Amino acid sequence: MKVLKTSLTLLLGLLLMLPAYTGALAGETQQQLTSESVIETIKKRGKLMVGMSTFVPWAMRNKQGELIGFEIDVAKKVAEDMGVDIEFVPTQWSGIIPALIAGKFDVIIGGMSVTPQRNLTINFTTPYAHSGMGIAASKKLAGDFAWPEGFNRSDVIFVCRRGVTPCTDAVEKIWPKAKIRQFDDDTMAFQEVVNGNAHATLSSHPKPVKFTYRYPDALYMPTTENLSKGDEAFGIRKGDPDALNFFSNWIMVNTSNGWLEKRHHYWFKTMDWADQVDQQ
Protein backbone atom coordinates (compact mmCIF):
# COMPACT_ATOMS: atom_id res chain seq x y z
CA MET A 1 0.00 0.00 0.00
CA LYS A 2 2.87 2.35 0.86
CA VAL A 3 4.57 1.58 -2.51
CA LEU A 4 1.33 2.32 -4.37
CA LYS A 5 0.91 5.59 -2.51
CA THR A 6 4.48 6.59 -3.31
CA SER A 7 3.96 5.74 -7.00
CA LEU A 8 0.78 7.80 -7.15
CA THR A 9 2.58 10.72 -5.54
CA LEU A 10 5.37 10.52 -8.12
CA LEU A 11 2.87 10.27 -10.99
CA LEU A 12 0.96 13.26 -9.67
CA GLY A 13 4.20 15.20 -9.43
CA LEU A 14 5.09 14.35 -13.02
CA LEU A 15 1.66 15.39 -14.22
CA LEU A 16 1.99 18.71 -12.41
CA MET A 17 5.39 19.25 -14.03
CA LEU A 18 4.16 18.35 -17.54
CA PRO A 19 2.57 21.76 -18.38
CA ALA A 20 5.74 23.56 -17.32
CA TYR A 21 7.89 21.16 -19.36
CA THR A 22 5.58 21.45 -22.38
CA GLY A 23 5.61 25.22 -22.08
CA ALA A 24 9.39 25.29 -21.88
CA LEU A 25 9.67 22.96 -24.87
CA ALA A 26 7.27 25.14 -26.86
CA GLY A 27 9.25 28.21 -25.86
CA GLU A 28 12.49 26.62 -27.01
CA THR A 29 10.88 25.58 -30.29
CA GLN A 30 9.51 29.08 -30.85
CA GLN A 31 12.88 30.62 -29.98
CA GLN A 32 14.59 28.29 -32.46
CA LEU A 33 12.10 29.09 -35.21
CA THR A 34 12.46 32.82 -34.59
CA SER A 35 16.24 32.73 -34.50
CA GLU A 36 16.31 30.79 -37.77
CA SER A 37 13.84 33.08 -39.52
CA VAL A 38 15.04 35.00 -42.55
CA ILE A 39 13.66 38.10 -40.84
CA GLU A 40 16.31 37.77 -38.12
CA THR A 41 18.95 37.17 -40.80
CA ILE A 42 17.90 40.35 -42.63
CA LYS A 43 17.99 42.39 -39.42
CA LYS A 44 21.46 41.12 -38.47
CA ARG A 45 22.78 41.62 -41.99
CA GLY A 46 21.17 45.04 -42.30
CA LYS A 47 20.12 44.29 -45.84
CA LEU A 48 17.15 42.70 -47.63
CA MET A 49 18.17 40.55 -50.60
CA VAL A 50 15.43 40.25 -53.24
CA GLY A 51 15.29 37.79 -56.11
CA MET A 52 13.66 39.20 -59.25
CA SER A 53 13.65 38.97 -63.02
CA THR A 54 13.17 41.81 -65.51
CA PHE A 55 9.69 41.95 -66.99
CA VAL A 56 7.97 45.19 -68.01
CA PRO A 57 6.61 46.92 -65.96
CA TRP A 58 7.32 44.73 -62.94
CA ALA A 59 11.06 45.38 -63.14
CA MET A 60 13.15 46.96 -65.92
CA ARG A 61 16.12 49.21 -66.56
CA ASN A 62 15.70 52.92 -67.14
CA LYS A 63 17.83 54.97 -69.54
CA GLN A 64 20.52 55.27 -66.85
CA GLY A 65 20.62 51.51 -66.32
CA GLU A 66 18.88 51.65 -62.94
CA LEU A 67 16.16 49.21 -61.95
CA ILE A 68 12.65 50.68 -61.90
CA GLY A 69 9.16 49.23 -61.94
CA PHE A 70 6.34 48.09 -59.68
CA GLU A 71 8.36 45.33 -58.00
CA ILE A 72 11.26 47.67 -57.44
CA ASP A 73 8.97 50.16 -55.68
CA VAL A 74 7.48 47.38 -53.55
CA ALA A 75 10.81 45.86 -52.53
CA LYS A 76 12.32 49.26 -51.70
CA LYS A 77 9.33 50.09 -49.50
CA VAL A 78 9.63 46.75 -47.66
CA ALA A 79 13.31 47.44 -46.96
CA GLU A 80 12.57 51.02 -45.89
CA ASP A 81 9.88 49.86 -43.47
CA MET A 82 12.29 47.25 -42.06
CA GLY A 83 14.98 49.89 -41.64
CA VAL A 84 17.51 48.02 -43.77
CA ASP A 85 19.30 48.42 -47.09
CA ILE A 86 18.29 46.50 -50.20
CA GLU A 87 20.09 44.40 -52.78
CA PHE A 88 18.40 43.11 -55.92
CA VAL A 89 19.55 39.76 -57.26
CA PRO A 90 18.54 39.50 -60.96
CA THR A 91 17.84 35.85 -61.69
CA GLN A 92 16.66 33.87 -64.71
CA TRP A 93 12.95 33.17 -64.23
CA SER A 94 13.36 29.45 -64.90
CA GLY A 95 15.78 29.14 -61.98
CA ILE A 96 14.39 31.65 -59.51
CA ILE A 97 12.68 29.12 -57.21
CA PRO A 98 15.75 26.85 -56.94
CA ALA A 99 17.85 29.96 -56.24
CA LEU A 100 15.50 30.96 -53.39
CA ILE A 101 15.67 27.47 -51.87
CA ALA A 102 19.47 27.54 -52.16
CA GLY A 103 19.56 30.76 -50.12
CA LYS A 104 20.82 33.05 -52.89
CA PHE A 105 18.40 35.71 -51.62
CA ASP A 106 15.75 36.15 -48.92
CA VAL A 107 12.51 36.49 -50.85
CA ILE A 108 11.12 36.52 -54.38
CA ILE A 109 9.37 39.79 -55.19
CA GLY A 110 8.92 39.37 -58.90
CA GLY A 111 5.28 39.20 -59.96
CA MET A 112 5.10 35.48 -59.28
CA SER A 113 1.60 34.03 -59.62
CA VAL A 114 0.42 31.65 -56.93
CA THR A 115 -0.05 28.13 -58.29
CA PRO A 116 -0.56 24.80 -56.49
CA GLN A 117 2.53 23.39 -58.22
CA ARG A 118 4.79 26.21 -56.99
CA ASN A 119 3.21 26.07 -53.55
CA LEU A 120 4.42 22.48 -53.15
CA THR A 121 7.98 23.82 -53.23
CA ILE A 122 7.79 27.29 -51.62
CA ASN A 123 5.36 29.26 -49.47
CA PHE A 124 3.42 32.28 -50.66
CA THR A 125 2.36 35.35 -48.73
CA THR A 126 -0.99 37.05 -48.99
CA PRO A 127 -1.37 38.34 -52.59
CA TYR A 128 -0.14 41.89 -53.04
CA ALA A 129 -1.08 42.34 -56.72
CA HIS A 130 -3.77 41.10 -59.05
CA SER A 131 -2.84 40.95 -62.70
CA GLY A 132 -5.47 40.68 -65.38
CA MET A 133 -6.51 41.06 -68.97
CA GLY A 134 -7.25 44.49 -70.42
CA ILE A 135 -8.85 45.54 -73.69
CA ALA A 136 -7.76 47.81 -76.54
CA ALA A 137 -10.31 48.55 -79.26
CA SER A 138 -10.35 50.11 -82.70
CA LYS A 139 -11.55 53.73 -82.74
CA LYS A 140 -12.60 53.29 -86.36
CA LEU A 141 -14.62 50.10 -85.91
CA ALA A 142 -15.78 50.29 -82.30
CA GLY A 143 -15.41 53.89 -81.23
CA ASP A 144 -19.15 54.36 -80.74
CA PHE A 145 -19.86 50.97 -79.11
CA ALA A 146 -21.57 50.98 -75.72
CA TRP A 147 -19.53 49.22 -73.05
CA PRO A 148 -19.62 46.27 -72.71
CA GLU A 149 -22.80 45.17 -74.48
CA GLY A 150 -21.94 46.89 -77.77
CA PHE A 151 -19.21 44.31 -78.46
CA ASN A 152 -21.58 41.35 -78.14
CA ARG A 153 -22.48 41.08 -81.84
CA SER A 154 -21.94 38.42 -84.45
CA ASP A 155 -20.05 40.84 -86.72
CA VAL A 156 -17.53 41.79 -84.02
CA ILE A 157 -14.05 40.24 -84.22
CA PHE A 158 -11.79 39.83 -81.21
CA VAL A 159 -8.14 38.86 -81.64
CA CYS A 160 -6.09 36.99 -79.04
CA ARG A 161 -2.61 35.60 -78.82
CA ARG A 162 -2.69 31.88 -79.48
CA GLY A 163 -2.72 29.79 -76.32
CA VAL A 164 -3.76 32.61 -73.97
CA THR A 165 -6.76 30.92 -72.38
CA PRO A 166 -7.87 33.93 -70.24
CA CYS A 167 -8.39 35.91 -73.46
CA THR A 168 -10.57 33.36 -75.24
CA ASP A 169 -12.40 32.48 -72.02
CA ALA A 170 -13.22 36.15 -71.34
CA VAL A 171 -14.52 36.72 -74.88
CA GLU A 172 -16.66 33.57 -74.81
CA LYS A 173 -18.08 34.50 -71.39
CA ILE A 174 -18.68 38.23 -71.83
CA TRP A 175 -19.33 38.42 -75.60
CA PRO A 176 -20.59 34.99 -76.66
CA LYS A 177 -21.86 36.28 -80.03
CA ALA A 178 -18.49 37.68 -81.12
CA LYS A 179 -15.92 35.85 -83.23
CA ILE A 180 -12.35 35.09 -82.11
CA ARG A 181 -9.23 35.01 -84.26
CA GLN A 182 -5.86 33.97 -82.84
CA PHE A 183 -2.31 35.03 -83.67
CA ASP A 184 1.12 33.81 -82.65
CA ASP A 185 2.02 36.87 -80.57
CA ASP A 186 0.50 39.96 -79.00
CA THR A 187 2.11 42.38 -81.43
CA MET A 188 0.41 40.72 -84.39
CA ALA A 189 -2.94 40.74 -82.59
CA PHE A 190 -2.66 44.43 -81.69
CA GLN A 191 -1.57 45.26 -85.23
CA GLU A 192 -4.77 43.72 -86.60
CA VAL A 193 -6.77 46.14 -84.46
CA VAL A 194 -4.53 49.08 -85.40
CA ASN A 195 -5.02 48.24 -89.09
CA GLY A 196 -8.80 48.10 -88.71
CA ASN A 197 -9.07 44.36 -89.38
CA ALA A 198 -10.49 43.52 -85.94
CA HIS A 199 -12.60 45.34 -83.39
CA ALA A 200 -10.62 44.63 -80.22
CA THR A 201 -7.96 42.55 -78.52
CA LEU A 202 -7.43 41.37 -74.97
CA SER A 203 -4.01 41.07 -73.37
CA SER A 204 -2.47 41.27 -69.91
CA HIS A 205 -1.94 44.76 -68.51
CA PRO A 206 -0.09 46.97 -69.23
CA LYS A 207 0.03 45.97 -72.93
CA PRO A 208 -3.38 47.50 -73.77
CA VAL A 209 -2.21 50.76 -72.15
CA LYS A 210 1.16 50.57 -73.92
CA PHE A 211 -0.26 50.01 -77.42
CA THR A 212 -2.98 52.63 -76.94
CA TYR A 213 -0.25 55.07 -75.89
CA ARG A 214 1.75 54.14 -78.99
CA TYR A 215 -1.21 54.38 -81.42
CA PRO A 216 -3.52 57.02 -79.94
CA ASP A 217 -5.23 57.76 -83.27
CA ALA A 218 -6.14 54.11 -83.88
CA LEU A 219 -6.78 52.58 -80.45
CA TYR A 220 -8.73 53.37 -77.30
CA MET A 221 -9.50 51.53 -74.08
CA PRO A 222 -13.24 51.11 -73.36
CA THR A 223 -12.33 50.36 -69.72
CA THR A 224 -9.20 50.16 -67.56
CA GLU A 225 -10.74 47.47 -65.33
CA ASN A 226 -9.32 43.94 -65.36
CA LEU A 227 -11.38 41.44 -67.34
CA SER A 228 -9.72 38.54 -65.52
CA LYS A 229 -7.91 38.28 -62.21
CA GLY A 230 -4.65 36.68 -61.13
CA ASP A 231 -2.93 36.59 -57.75
CA GLU A 232 0.73 37.50 -57.27
CA ALA A 233 2.53 37.03 -53.97
CA PHE A 234 5.98 37.09 -52.38
CA GLY A 235 7.74 33.71 -52.49
CA ILE A 236 9.61 32.54 -49.37
CA ARG A 237 11.28 29.34 -48.22
CA LYS A 238 9.16 26.79 -46.38
CA GLY A 239 9.38 26.39 -42.60
CA ASP A 240 9.57 30.09 -41.75
CA PRO A 241 6.33 31.23 -40.04
CA ASP A 242 7.94 34.46 -38.84
CA ALA A 243 8.76 35.58 -42.39
CA LEU A 244 5.33 34.54 -43.65
CA ASN A 245 3.72 36.58 -40.86
CA PHE A 246 5.85 39.68 -41.40
CA PHE A 247 5.56 39.89 -45.18
CA SER A 248 1.83 39.05 -45.22
CA ASN A 249 1.11 41.69 -42.58
CA TRP A 250 3.20 44.24 -44.52
CA ILE A 251 1.02 43.50 -47.55
CA MET A 252 -2.16 43.80 -45.47
CA VAL A 253 -1.14 47.21 -44.09
CA ASN A 254 -0.13 48.59 -47.49
CA THR A 255 -3.27 47.24 -49.10
CA SER A 256 -5.45 48.88 -46.47
CA ASN A 257 -3.73 52.27 -46.74
CA GLY A 258 -3.94 52.23 -50.55
CA TRP A 259 -0.21 52.38 -51.23
CA LEU A 260 -0.04 49.14 -53.23
CA GLU A 261 -3.08 50.03 -55.33
CA LYS A 262 -1.67 53.48 -56.11
CA ARG A 263 1.71 52.13 -57.24
CA HIS A 264 0.09 49.32 -59.22
CA HIS A 265 -2.17 51.78 -61.03
CA TYR A 266 0.82 53.97 -61.92
CA TRP A 267 2.80 51.13 -63.49
CA PHE A 268 -0.02 49.10 -65.07
CA LYS A 269 -2.81 51.51 -65.96
CA THR A 270 -0.82 54.57 -67.10
CA MET A 271 2.23 55.27 -69.25
CA ASP A 272 3.43 58.18 -67.13
CA TRP A 273 6.71 56.31 -66.72
CA ALA A 274 7.29 55.82 -70.48
CA ASP A 275 9.87 58.59 -70.87
CA GLN A 276 12.12 56.87 -68.30
CA VAL A 277 12.82 53.88 -70.57
CA ASP A 278 13.91 53.33 -74.15
CA GLN A 279 10.80 52.53 -76.19
CA GLN A 280 10.87 49.27 -78.10
196-237 tens-digit pLDDT: 999 999 998 899 999 999 999 999 999 999 898 889 999 999
Q: Does the residue 68 lie in any domain?
A: yes
Mean pLDDT computed over 13-19: 57
Beta-carbon count within 10 A of 43 CB = 14
Could you list the residue range(s) of the whole structural domain that residue 146 is in? 133-220
Domain boundary among 174, 202, 220: 220
Give the strands of the sheet with 200-204, arranged side by side.
179-183, 157-161, 200-204, 133-138, 219-220
Q: Does the residue 28 lie in any domain?
A: no
Quick one: 118 and 255 in the same domain? yes
Tens of pLDDT, residues 97-143: 999 999 999 999 999 999 999 999 999 999 999 988 999 999 999 99
Mean pLDDT of the chain: 89
Tens of pLDDT, residues 27-52: 444 444 445 899 999 999 999 999 99
Q: For 251, left (φ over 0), alpha (ψ -120 to 50), or beta?
A: alpha
Quick one: 100 and 179 in the same domain? no
Q: What is the CATH number of the domain that holds 205?
A: 3.40.190.10
Mean pLDDT computed over 9-14: 57
Quick one: 137 and 126 in the same domain? no
* Residue 163: band (very low, low, confident or very high) from pLDDT cuts 50, 70, 90: confident
Closest to 97 measured CA to CA, from 88, 109, 108, 106: 108
Q: For 196, left (φ over 0), alpha (ψ -120 to 50), or beta?
A: left
Instruction: Decide if pLDDT at 24 tops 60.
Output: no
Please state the domain count of the chain. 2
> DSSP strand E in 64-153: where?
67-68, 85-90, 107-108, 123-124, 133-138
